[in-house]
Amino acid sequence: MARVTISEKYCTVNPLKMSPSIGAALAFLGVDNSMPLLHGSQGCTSFGLVLFVRHFREAIPMQTTAMSEVATVLGGFDNLEQALVNIAGRTKPALIGICTTGISEIKGDDMAGFLKLIRANHPELDGIALVDVSTPDFQGAFQDGWAAAVTRMVEELIEIPQFETRLSRRINVLPGCHITPGDIDELRDIFEAFSLDPIFLPDLSGSLDGHIPTEFTPTSLGGISVEQIRRMSSACWTVAIGEQMRGAAITLEHHTGVPYKLFGRLTGLAPCDELMGFLSEISGVPVPKKYRRQRSQLIDAMLDGHFYFGGKRVAIAAEPDLLFATSHWLHEMGCKIQVAVTTAESPVLETVPVDEVLLGDLEDLELRSVGADLIVTHSHGRQAAERLQIPFYRIGIPVFDRLGAGQQVSVGYRGTRNLIFEVGNLIMANAHEPTPETWIPKQQQSHDLVTLQ
């Protein structure tokens, strides 16, 4: 049982955390033909937009209500109205996802009221889904914003049919924000191998997987359609991935009666076994040969890899669900988690295999990483890793100094196997060759140095 403590610093140094506003914006980007809109000043949008561009290496549709000082004092109604009308006129999206920021939250803009009035005054917005979500950037972190946006989409968009018509193969999947476009593709293959028909909310694999569209489009390039979201009530099951999605899954069940099953993680042998068992049970299809073989390959990779992982000390910093998945997997490979840093509260933190989980920043990570064999966090860990000369594996968002961040796969037997290879190779590459001094005790070495001088 890990203790969860909060860093007692006044000055955050090298932040790990990102804001819920852009977490929510990313969730909206998993809907086809959508446009996230941050209700705040221009910078709120532009900083997040640049971050996503660098991570995904894709154009990112994202707009701002461009609040000025005066508008902030008077209230954001006019700016929100203008923004919605402008977006509707210029890009004709199917959905506009409106995320608040510190500015609009402190001012206390009544979003529901605003939207009702704007709808009434603007028939040109008919046919465009408008979903607002409260994401003050002084509360919670990225994954909280993502989860809140999904819950709001469930609340606002799903239609409850008068007569229940369930599609026997239809499964709703609610992936957390740590599930990459590549992960979603992998999961879709797995579900389909059981003759199931999964739809993902949000589905970044359609929009930010990196593909060449045939036409120019100013909104998201793909993803789940608003129409598909409306019909999520017709699924037999909802599968939620990551504790962050529990709220959305419960809301979905509450609205539609579709039962849910939550997987805390899908990285590692046991969680994958659990998924296979579950899918086989609900589909009535025995686990396909392909996955039996993949399981065997994963076990072989664990055998080959455990020599390099065993006893290695790992420093890890990530959002709660990603920390949970990655630290358990590393622990299961024989690593010792030397330090775990995260961004926000979550029920999973207590179960992380470490004495203490710290809500802190990358300075906290760096100070506690001395002597570690591996640092695991997002790209901003690069300076710490360089200073400490420790091998560095990048996970989460942002990863801006490596190619293919959106296609990094860590779920399923195959994803776990590849993760073993990638991280194992990194550890291997840093193995120290023995020298004549290797077995001389440290004290004597320094003594020798002194006498030499």
Partner 1 sequence: MSSLGSKVQQVLNEPGCATNQAKPSFDRKKGCNRMLAPGAAAGGCAFDGAKIALQPITDVVHLIHGPINCEGHSWDGRGAKSSGSSLYRTSFTTAMTEQDIIFGGEKHLYKAIKEAVRKYNPPAVFVYQTCVPAMIGDDLEAVCKAAAKKLGKPVIPVNVPGFVGSKNLGNKLAGEALLDYVIGTEEPVETTPYDINIIGEYNLSGELWQVKPLLDELGIRILACISGDATYHEVARSHRARAAMMVCSKAMINVARKMEERYAIPYFEGSFYGIGDMSDALRRIAQLLVDRGAPAELLGRTEAVIEREEASAWERIAPFKARLAGKRALLFTGGVKSWSVVAAMQEAGLTVIGTSVKKSTPDDKERIKAIMKDDAHMFDDLKPREMYKMLKEARADIMLSGGRTQFVALKAKMPWLDINQERHHAYAGYEGMVALVSEIDKALSNPIWEQIRKPAPWESSIARDEFSIHVA
Residue type, 431: A
Distance CA 227, CA 224 (A): 8
Task: Please report how close the Cβ of residue 15 comes to partner 1 at its closest, in angstroms.
Answer: 5
Q: What is the DSSP string of 22-37?
A: HHHHHHHTTBTTEEEE
Smaller CB distance to partner 1: residue 48 or 198? 48
Q: Give me 275's structure tokens.
A: 């998924």
Task: Please report how close the Cβ of residue 69 comes to partner 1 at its closest, in angstroms.
Answer: 5
Residue with tokens 């779920």: 411
Smaller CB distance to partner 1: residue 199 or 362? 362
Helix (H, G, I), strand (E, B) or coil at 334: coil
Question: Which residues here bind partner 1, judged by CB under 8 A?
Answer: 9-15, 17-19, 21-22, 37, 40-48, 50-51, 53-54, 58-59, 63-69, 71-72, 79-80, 82-87, 90, 101-103, 106-107, 136-139, 141, 212-213, 216, 218, 380, 383, 400
Q: CB neighbours of 279 closer than 8 A, spacing ≥ 6?
A: 190, 191, 194, 196, 285, 287
Distance CA 407, CA 28 (A): 19
Residue with tokens 């290496």: 57
Smaller CB distance to partner 1: residue 43 or 277? 43
Smaller CB distance to partner 1: residue 332 or 363? 363
Task: Please report how close the Cβ of residue 90 comes to partner 1 at its closest, in angstroms.
Answer: 6
Distances (CA, A) of 203 to 7, 38, 216: 34, 20, 20
| 224 secondary structure, DSSP code | B
Task: Please report how close the Cβ of residue 13 comes to partner 1 at its closest, in angstroms.
Answer: 6
Phi, psi of 430 (to 5 degrees): -100, 10
Across-strand partners of 240?
A: 174, 262
Distance CA 40, CA 45 (A): 8
Sheet holding 129-133, edge to edge: 63-64, 34-39, 95-100, 129-133
Task: Please report how close the Cβ of residue 308 comes to partner 1 at its closest, in angstroms.
Answer: 30
Task: Please report how close the Cβ of residue 248 comes to partner 1 at its closest, in angstroms.
Answer: 23
Q: In this structure, how many other beta carbons lie within 10 angstroms of the beta carbon of residue 435?
A: 8
Distances (CA, A) of 25 to 101, 147, 377: 11, 11, 22
Smaller CB distance to partner 1: residue 44 or 315? 44
Task: Please report how close the Cβ of residue 409 comes to partner 1 at its closest, in angstroms.
Answer: 23
Smaller CB distance to partner 1: residue 299 or 367? 367
Task: Please report how close the Cβ of residue 32 comes to partner 1 at its closest, in angstroms.
Answer: 17
Task: Please report how close the Cβ of residue 316 comes to partner 1 at its closest, in angstroms.
Answer: 19
Distance CA 244, CA 175 (A): 9
